[in-house]
Chain A
Amino acid sequence: MSKIVSLSEAIRRYVRDGDSVYAAGFTHLIPFAAGHEIIRQGRKDLVLARATPDLIYDQIVAAGCARKVIFSYMGNPGVGSLRFVRAELEAGNLEWEEYSHFGMISRLQAGATGLPFMPMNPTAAGDLEQANPNYRTVTDPYSGREVVVVPALNPDVAIVHVQRADAQGNAQIWGIIGEQKEAAFASSRVILTAEEIVPEEIIRSDPNRTLIPGFIVDAVCHVPYCAHPSYTQGYYDRDNAFYLEWDEISKTREAVQAYLDEWVYGVKDRAEYWEKLGVEVHTRLIVGSRPSEVVDYGQY
């Protein structure tokens, strides 16, 4: 049975007030369209988990949808500070829970594999482990030495954007694969957005590229350009100019509100948003072709 629904329907069904949400993607494939839909639907009290909150969480926090962030690097990647979240943290308006990248990703790895916690070698830095009681140490029963552990992270819902998926949600990703697979397996519910919905035969033609199997997916949404201003490898480029522009916008609440009014509340969906961006942006983000050599799985 097809799991294809509109993105607005998927968010309505699977993202609830108070949920912990993991909108995945390390710089690549960040599901901005889903973030905007969450804002339009006015979700409240979300716990937003991401290694790198990026602009998507700056915007969701700015829209008043979140009560807490869980992160390991809170910056505007390549640009500087993530101004809105930073201001909220400094003002004491937002709860936070913080890890290193490896700590954060180890939490997901434990969650995705059904383990209670994940061990890591010690780093001796100490202060973050003091500040966050979720960091503990246990004795390695084999060597007797101490290892650092973090608990499993099991979000209520993962949102994952992919290049292509079939109607069941069997999903293929190439390029930077960050923590999409881990986020999907760790979460109770999975919303998939895809640049292209393809027949099952296409997926079956290259099974090694399938990161997420359909049977753990709840909703499949066809959302071209879902990731802008992030990017989809081979489909469109990262809009670095917008990342720089956000650094200016996010200096004042008024400018952020004006942005949300125009680009989130002011459009009904991603198709309208993309149209509104205009030809100049579309042209700037076009990428040339560089296909891989075809591999032969053999006929058995």
Chain B
Amino acid sequence: MSQISTYTSSELLTINASRLLRDGDVVFVGVGLPNLACNLARRTHAPNLLMIYEAGVIGAQPRRLPLSIGDPTLVSGALAVCSMYDIFAFYLQRGNVDVGFLGGAQIDRFGNINATVIGSYEKPKVRLPGSGGSMEISAWANRCYILTPHQKRRFPEKVDFRTSAGFLNSRAERESAQLRGSGPQAIVTDLGILEPDETGELVLTALHPGATVEQACANTGWALKCAGTLRYTQAPSEEELQILRDELDPEGIYLRS
């Protein structure tokens, strides 16, 4: 079976992330693909999505694509604007956020994220930007989704530095930590979707059209298990692609590749 790719891997990630959102969700939005995924969901199946930005903006309705998390377009026409302390305390810590999106340089077998350093902390081989809001989002948002290209170096058995908690070493360990959020619910890659099993280990549950189990395994740094029934995701629809390309990212800043 030959697949002619008529969409980019960024479009594939964004569309699959968008489909995970439910109408009425309160989402802690990041810039880049999560921002596009939320705006796509709002224009399709989730018109009542409430977008909260970590810069302290609630109910944003951006009229242009924001480059940064603090773009002024997020403010004009928003429902409310508050301080950074308030957004993390009143909204996130208090438990008013349904969904958080996360990314990182490394995601391990139990969904823990590294956004801090490659190598040792004191003498890093690569110094990454660090937590930002990630440490709290992964702990306190009810559901977390991670978007990442599917590459072996991004999926090690264990992260070099645990910036944000996934399931730690097991689902039981996260549960005993009594965090209010339920942890990463899905990792969307350009090959498919990984979800935690009953032990908290990430297993392959879905493949995108044209992707194979062998590809997914070869690009994962641990012995990747497959779910009993493996699903195939629906290919991006014309409507989804048209909204992304014509309305949300017409210059292809995030979606070109």
Interface residues, chain A, CB within 8 Å of chain B? 26-28, 51-52, 71-75, 77-79, 81-82, 86, 89-90, 92, 98-103, 105-106, 108-109, 120-128, 131, 145, 174-179, 181-182, 231, 233, 237-238, 240, 243, 287, 290
Contact = CB atoms under 8 A, between A and B. Distances in A.
Given A77-B70, A89-B124, A121-B93, 10 more contacts: A26-B56, A78-B68, A102-B92, A124-B177, A125-B165, A126-B162, A126-B165, A127-B163, A175-B75, A177-B81
A121 B180 contact: yes
B182 to A, nearest CB: 13
Interface of B: 31-32, 54-57, 66-72, 74-77, 81-85, 88-89, 92-93, 112, 116, 121, 123-127, 129-136, 138-140, 161-165, 168, 174, 177-180
A114 to B, nearest CB: 15
Nearest to A92: B123
11 contacts: A28-B70, A73-B129, A78-B67, A100-B131, A100-B135, A123-B179, A125-B135, A125-B138, A125-B163, A125-B164, A178-B84
B116 A127 contact: yes
B116 A100 contact: no
Contacts of A73: 129-133
A79 B254 CA distance: 11
B164 A105 contact: no
Given A102-B136, A243-B68, A82 B56 contact: no
Contacts of A124: 139, 165, 168, 174, 177, 179
A179 B83 contact: yes
Contact of B135 (A26, A90, A102): A102
B16 to A, nearest CB: 23
A55 to B, nearest CB: 11
B181 to A, nearest CB: 10
Given A26-B84, A175-B81, A123 B138 contact: yes
A103 B89 CA distance: 11
Contacts of B126: 90
A62 to B, nearest CB: 16
Contacts of B82: 177
A100 B136 contact: yes
Contacts of A237: 72
Contacts of A182: 83, 85
A181 B83 contact: yes
B76 A290 contact: yes
B9 to A, nearest CB: 19
* Chain A contact residues, majority secondary structure: loop
A296 to B, nearest CB: 20
B127 A101 contact: no
Most buried by B among A78, A86, A287: A78
Nearest to A129: B135
Contacts of B163: 125, 127-128
A72 B130 contact: yes
A240 B112 CA distance: 32
A78 B69 contact: yes
Nearest to A235: B72
A101 B136 contact: yes
A241 to B, nearest CB: 10
A162 to B, nearest CB: 14
A197 B129 CA distance: 37
A174 B82 CA distance: 10
Contact of A127 (B72, B133, B161): B161
A27 B71 contact: yes
A78 B31 contact: yes
Given A72-B131, A105-B88, A128-B131, A28 B81 contact: no
Contact of B70 (A26, A102, A125): A26
A123 B67 contact: no
B162 A105 contact: no
Given A101-B88, A123-B164, A238-B72, A178 B56 contact: yes
Closest 9 CB pairs of A and B: A27-B70, A73-B132, A78-B68, A75-B129, A123-B139, A100-B135, A78-B67, A124-B177, A77-B68
A176 B81 contact: yes
A137 B68 CA distance: 34
B113 to A, nearest CB: 9
A74 B129 contact: yes
Contact of A122 (B31, B116, B179): B179
Contacts of A106: 85
Contacts of A98: 116, 130-131
Contacts of B72: 28, 175-176, 231, 233, 237-238, 287
Nearest to A52: B132
A75 B133 CA distance: 13
Q: Which one of A77, A79, A82, A89 has the greatest number of beta carbons of chain B within 10 Å? A: A77
